[in-house]
Structure 1
Amino acid sequence: MRHRPFFRWVLTAGFVLFACGVGISVVQPGPEPVATRQIDLAVVEEKPDGACRVRWSDPYAKRTREEPYHCDPTRSSLLKAPNYSDSRGYGWESGFMYTEGPDQGDLEDPEDEPRFENGDPGGVVLGLGILIVAVGLVGGNLRALPRVLGVEARLVRRAAALAEAAGWATGDYARVVEAVREAGARGELGATPDPELVRALWVLREAGPQARQSAEAARELADRLAVLLEQAAPAAGLRNRLQAGPAARDAAEAAVAELRRVLADAEREGLRERFAQTSVDLLRGQDAQRAALAAGTDFERDPEAYRRLFEEVAAREVKALPGSGRRGRG
């Protein structure tokens, strides 16, 4: 599925809005506070924490109003009831009344933020831009993290597994050929040949010429994968990526791309299954007693084929990959 850079466009839109918000804030004058004027308030009730009820004359509604208010509890006690010289026994406080807008005649609460006649569109656009930029950055990184770390790490593990299977096939073939040469050094294929030599040759005959072809292909692939896996090591996990330098990360990206192509070719050709089957075929000699009986019978039927195969093996140069022996396989 093709990757769609959704969060890249989100990030771009966020930066555009951010720039527009800055431009609007520079061009447009700042918002002005809603007009108010100071008035006298009669404190009808008051608690020690400053919660109170006040009365004031609303000239716009042309009536006396009474509402809860927050008085200043630290003002002088002479301004509080019953010390204040009010014939009704009320205290005194001052406040600000709105003279414009929909709240005209209302009191401004001292604990509220100041109100403005018009909003700040530049600030709104700027805030929206910052929010969208944050979404783009977080979303893009969260989306990229599995793709960069998870997918590439799995790809490296698959390549390592394929290289291991190739190493097994190469090592198994080299082991059988070495067994033939070691046994051949102790004796030739005469009237009474060495049973170990016959058994080793029988394993090669049973595996067939495709075993040699598979081993050669496995060695070539393993050599190629060894180089690519070394270069792709920074892509195997977050820790490796953080420890690698810029040049190593660039090389890792190129190696991962090549590994992806190599794995696709190997999967299409069924190389891993082919290498596994080669190893199974070359392990037939592990049951020494059974293999010796089958090898002896087959040798008596066609000794010339064994002699030709022995001559081919003696003239052939076969090398095992480092660490491609049977150790560690379970």
Structure 2
Amino acid sequence: MRHVPFFRWVLTAGVVLFTFAVGLYATGPGMPDVRQIDLTVLDEQPDGSCTVRWNDPYRHRTREASYRCDPTRADVLKAPRYDGSDQGWDTGYMITEGPRRGSLWSLSTDDTPSRPEVLLMLGTSLIAVGLVGGNLRALPRVLGVQARLVRRANELFEAARRVAEEYERAVAAVRDASRLETLPQEADSGLGSRLVSSLWVLREAGPEAGETAAAGRDLADRLHGPLQAAAPAARLRTMLQVGPAARSRAAEGVTEVRSLLAHADRNDLRERFTQTSVDLLRGQDIPDFVALAAGADFAGDPAAYRRLLAELTGPAVLPGTRTPPRRVRWWRRRR
């Protein structure tokens, strides 16, 4: 189940409201043209509420109205210290255009937020909630990313699978060749024999090749499931997109993968897989060299080739049967 992008929608709604508010500000009437004038303060309260008088040049008369004076202005500008009367002095702004020209304009008259201001505050709040909440929600998923671990496990899986397949291919080559020909009876007549060349590849790989290939096949089988479960942990984008169930499986898969990697490191499996693969592939690009080396090696110990062929083409030992006697060495000791 994919997670619901709640905070993403909150952020989107905030951006839409913010953009709409900016549009209203841009297309709205804005602040009217005003000019500063002197005001005679007739009555004033400590909080700044006052009644003022001013000269209206547009109606050619003196007007009075309620106003918000500056309560922090100097005391000498307030009554009765201004001129010894009960009047004071302040400055204000008069509208100079439109139907309201000649009237006072004050920020205190616009204390109620306008629609653009409400939308702007709401949009800003939603943007903040979307960003903070989305990042907090994504934090566990970000911490679950194990790209390097998954990459190492994939490389180990490929090495294990490759050595198993190459060993099986080498054994299959021996069995295919044994159906078409038999080992030469004469020790010096193995040159050019496909069967002898195929057996030489396995002798060059050594007796540990089969055990290494079996270990590679077993490790590849054990890594396959955990690697599939841990696949989302390989990329940050994937961990952010998958649902809680997939992230839980990825965490379990990462734990199993880490255990298998530790086992491989303790037993040097990666190095063994690589070396065995090199040994099994050695000489395949130079067939003439392989044929010459295989013929010379067969001439030196043809019995070892017959024992190896019997092991590879003989009947398999069924489970529960007696273990066959220790086999005589068939591989060539490296110098």
**What band does the TM-score fall into relative to the shorter chain?**
0.5 to 0.7
Please say which of residues 254-263 and 190-199 is displaced more in the overlay. Answer: 190-199
Alignment TM-score, normalising by the size of structure 2? 0.58
Deviations, residues 109-144 of structure 1 (Å, cap 9, x unaligned): 821575xxxxxxxxxxxxxxx999888645545655
Amino acid at match of 1:270: D
The answer for the alignment partner of 1:51 in structure 2 is: 35
For 1:156-305, what aligned pairs fall within 5 Å after superposition? 156-189=150-183, 190-191=185-186, 192-193=189-190, 195-237=193-235, 240-241=238-239, 244=242, 246-286=244-284, 287-305=286-304
CA drift at 1:155: 2.8
Partners of 2:133 and 2:304 lie apart in 1 by 70
String of CA shifts for 1:263-307, please: whole Å, max 9, x gaps. Answer: 233234332222111111001240211011111111111111111
* TM-score, with length taken from structure 1: 0.58
Quote the RMSD (CA, aligned, Å): 3.9
Structure 2 gaps of 5+ residues are 1-31, 45-51, 79-89, 93-104, 112-125, 317-335
Is residue 309 from structure 1 mapped to residue 285 from structure 2 by the alignment? no
Asked whether 1:94 is paired with 2:65, we answer yes
Partner of 1:32: none
Q: Provide the secondary structure at the position in 2 that maps to 1:232.
A: helix
Number of aligned residue pairs: 235
How far, CA to CA, are the matches of 1:103 and 1:306 in structure 2? 115
Against the structure 1 CA distance between its residues 134 and 279, is the aligned structure 2 distance closer, same or farther, given a 3 Å change threshold? same
Q: Distance in 2 between matches of 1:95 and 1:316?
A: 113
Q: Cα deviation per residue 1:174-225 (whole Å; 9 max; x = unaligned)?
A: 1111111111122222224571111111111111112112111100011111
Please say if residues 39 and 91 of structure 2, whose CA atoms lie closer than 8 Å, have aligned partners that are also in contact.
Answer: no
| Distance of 1:145 and 1:306 partners within structure 2 | 57
**Contact map agreement 1:156 1:235 (CA 8 A) in 2:** yes
Contact 2:38 2:91 in 1 (8 A): no
Residue equivalent to 1:321: none
Deviation at 1:59, TM superposition (A): 7.3
Retained in 2: the 8 A contact 1:163–1:225?
yes
CA 1:55–1:158 in structure 2 vs 1: closer, same or farther (change >3 Å)? same
Asked if residue 81 in structure 1 is aligned to residue 57 in structure 2, the reply is yes
Instruction: Tell me: CA distance 1:52–1:208, structure 2 relative to 1, closer, same or farther (3 Å).
Output: same
C-alpha distance in 2 between matches for 1:136 and 1:293: 72
Report the Cα offset of residue 82 of structure 1.
Answer: 6.2
Distance 2:146 2:42 in 1: 73
Letter in 2 for 1:84: H
Structure 1 stretches lacking a partner, 5+ long: 1-47, 61-68, 72-78, 86-90, 115-129, 318-330
Asked whether the equivalents of residues 96 and 107 of structure 1 are also in contact (C-alpha less than 8 Å), the reply is: no
